[in-house]
């Protein structure tokens, strides 16, 4: 029997983009999908859109405390073999994404998998021109190259990792990937599996936010690095070079 994949979508006043996200899940050819919505108290048409679904779903309402807590609540509610997080403004690019993920996880015996994303900007998809390095803990420690909506993790591994750190505002994904990396190597795909929508509401939409996110990433990185002074100095050097680029980039606020 094919693995059951729990798709967890966190929402908050998401009526503008949610239909496209839902449509991409409904189009999947995988036979075993558990669909879970975690809503933070929407006051627009989000809940009406969810309740109009003609297929089984689970809705957790009024989950307060930020996106990390919402994702953890979705994890606690999930019963599937594999956990997938698809935010309300993102969507899967092909109808065979979940069936392909399930097949690769089963055939490889590995605990998690990640692919690539395409950026959706002003209604147009843009290829990810970034060439991700081959996975290793050392490479991941140099910088996060794992995209959230294209990552799939066996539920038992997610539970062992403890889910997302709710004390983090930006680097909760990166922190989780580093935990998972210590537990086992993932399947790495170079294909785009999901579209990531970039718009004014995105967390990464301003230089000031990017600097705050970089600083939190850096703190997480140091917490997983060795005490070797040469290695730590290299992390500091990379951080200050990246920070300088953002500060001097056009549009810094």
Instruction: Give the per-residue pLDDT at 19.
Output: 98
Instruction: Give the per-residue pLDDT at 206.
Output: 67
- 29-40 pLDDT, tens per residue? 999 999 999 999
Evaluate if residue 93 carries a pLDDT over 60. yes
| Banded pLDDT at 98 (limits 50, 70, 90) | very high
Instruction: Give the per-residue pLDDT at 199.
Output: 66
pTM above 0.85, yes or no: yes
- 64-90 pLDDT, tens per residue? 999 999 999 999 999 999 999 999 999
Instruction: Give the per-residue pLDDT at 253.
Output: 40
Q: CA neighbours within 13 Å on the CB side: how many for 116?
A: 15
Closest of 197, 147, 205 to residue 20, by C-alpha: 197
DSSP code string of 144-177: ----GGGEEEEHHHHHHHTS--TT-SS-HHHHHH
Evaluate if residue 203 carries a pLDDT over 70. no
* b/e code 53-88 from CB counts within 10 Å (16+ = b): eeeebbebeebeebbbbbbbbbbebbebbbbbbbbb
Evaluate if residue 43 carries a pLDDT over 90. yes
User: Percent of the chain at pLDDT above 70?
Assistant: 95
Rounded Cα gap, residues 178 and 161, in angstroms: 10
Instruction: Give the per-residue pLDDT at 78.
Output: 98
Evaluate if residue 250 carries a pLDDT over 80. no
């Amino acid at each position: 029997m094919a693995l059951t994949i729990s798709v967890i979508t966190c929402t908050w006043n998401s009526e503008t983009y949610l239909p496209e996200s839902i449509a991409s899940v409904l189009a999947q050819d995988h036979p075993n999908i558990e669909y879970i919505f975690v809503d933070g108290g929407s006051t627009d048409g989000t809940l009406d859109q969810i309740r109009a679904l003609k297929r089984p779903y689970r809705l957790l309402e009024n989950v307060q405390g930020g996106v990390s807590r919402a994702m953890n609540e979705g994890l606690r509610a999930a019963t599937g073999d594999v956990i997938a997080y698809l935010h309300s403004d993102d969507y899967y690019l092909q109808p065979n994404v979940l069936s392909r993920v399930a097949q690769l996880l089963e055939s490889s015996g590995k605990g998690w998998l990640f692919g690539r994303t395409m950026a959706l900007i002003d209604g147009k998809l843009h290829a990810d021109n970034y060439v991700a390095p081959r996975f290793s803990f050392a490479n991941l420690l140099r910088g996060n190259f794992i995209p959230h909506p294209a990552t799939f993790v066996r539920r038992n591994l997610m539970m062992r990792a403890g889910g997302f750190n709710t004390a983090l505002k930006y680097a909760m994904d990166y922190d989780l990937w580093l935990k998972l990396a210590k537990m086992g190597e993932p399947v790495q795909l170079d294909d785009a599996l999901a579209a990531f929508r970039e718009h004014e509401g995105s967390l990464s939409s301003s230089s000031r936010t990017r600097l705050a996110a970089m600083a939190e990433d850096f703190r997480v990185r140091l917490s997983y690095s060795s005490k070797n002074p040469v290695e730590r100095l290299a992390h500091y050097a990379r951080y200050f070079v990246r920070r300088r680029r953002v500060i001097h980039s056009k549009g810094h606020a």
